[in-house]
Amino acid sequence: MIDLRFAWRARKFRSKWNRAEIRAMQALLHPGGCAIDVGSHKGGWLYWMRRSVGRTGRVCAIEPQPELAAYLAEVVARNGWRNVAIHRLGLGMEEGMAILHVPGPDGHTSPAASLIAAVAEAEASRDHVRHDIPTRVTSLDALVRAQNLPQVDFLKIDVEGAELEVLQGAGHLLESQTPAVLLECERRHLRLQNKTMDAVFAELLTRGYQGSFFDRWGSHPLAEFDPEVHQAEVGPRFWDRPTYANNFLFVKPAPGRA
């Protein structure tokens, strides 16, 4: 039986918070497919990924916060989803150890948890506290090899400022399997690292991907994205403004259809 609280939260994602994005994912995923959810948090995307690929597909969920990874593993076990794997990991350019910085006191979880200290520090300044967790890190290429995933169809990345490192650790996957990529990316996080959104996008655009972005009303060509408009930091909760856009979809057209 589906956990009702888990399902309710997932339906809020599809009906309110990420309506256009999840519908786009559902159009790209089909029964028997494979999806990777990087930064799964409480599983709002995981639920729809699993429904889209069905019993014959596969889903890998990556969540470095131990409490959330344990929660997702419990949900998966309770529902008998044998084709869903939960990995308590961080992702980056290579295998090793890193520190996960989590805004809030020990034992608390946060959607702003990040492997980038400056990003978490900026979020923690609002809560006045953060805690750090040693975390095993691997690359997407290494994960795909270890899990023996012959074809990844959809990749969602929500890593609070570490987008460039995750994509740089996925070069073979992006070249050989060309999954669709749904990427959360924010100028405010990259600015703290002296990095740019263009550098992140280039990891996909130079490989032949085409991009679009989402706002409250739907998707638009990436060429129309203007961070001064679509990521304007105006007001105390600027990220809730209807025009604020931080989700980007990259798809590589089939040969002859570019």
Q: Does the pLDDT value for residue 257 go beyond 70?
A: no
Q: What is the mean pLDDT of residues 67-72?
A: 97
Averaged pLDDT of the chain? 92
Question: Looking at the domain assignment, is residue 84 inside a domain?
Answer: yes
Q: Does the pLDDT value for residue 23 go beyond 70?
A: yes
pLDDT one-digit tens code per residue, 146-186: 999 989 999 999 999 999 999 999 999 999 999 999 999 99
Q: Would you state the structure tokens that stand for residue 162, as one six-digit string?
A: 């570490």
Question: Looking at the domain assignment, is residue 256 inside a domain?
Answer: no
Name the nearest CA neighbour of 39 among 130, 218, 166, 164.
166
Where residue 102 sits, what CATH number does that domain have? Answer: 3.40.50.150
Question: Looking at the domain assignment, is residue 97 inside a domain?
Answer: yes
Question: Looking at the domain assignment, is residue 77 inside a domain?
Answer: yes
Question: Looking at the domain assignment, is residue 258 inside a domain?
Answer: no
The three-class DSSP label of residue 52 is: helix
Q: Does the pLDDT value for residue 258 go beyond 70?
A: no
DSSP 69: H
For residue 253, give every residue at least 6 positions away whose Cβ sits within 8 Å of its Cβ, in sequence order, or none.
208, 210
160 torsion bin: left (phi>0), alpha (psi -120 to 50), beta (else): left
Domain containing 224 equals 4-251
Dist CA 233 CA 237 (whole Å): 8
How many structural domains compose the chain? 1
Question: Looking at the domain assignment, is residue 119 inside a domain?
Answer: yes
Question: Looking at the domain assignment, is residue 160 inside a domain?
Answer: yes
Name the nearest CA neighbour of 208 among 239, 234, 228, 181.
181
Q: What is the mean pLDDT of residues 38-44?
A: 95
Question: Looking at the domain assignment, is residue 57 inside a domain?
Answer: yes
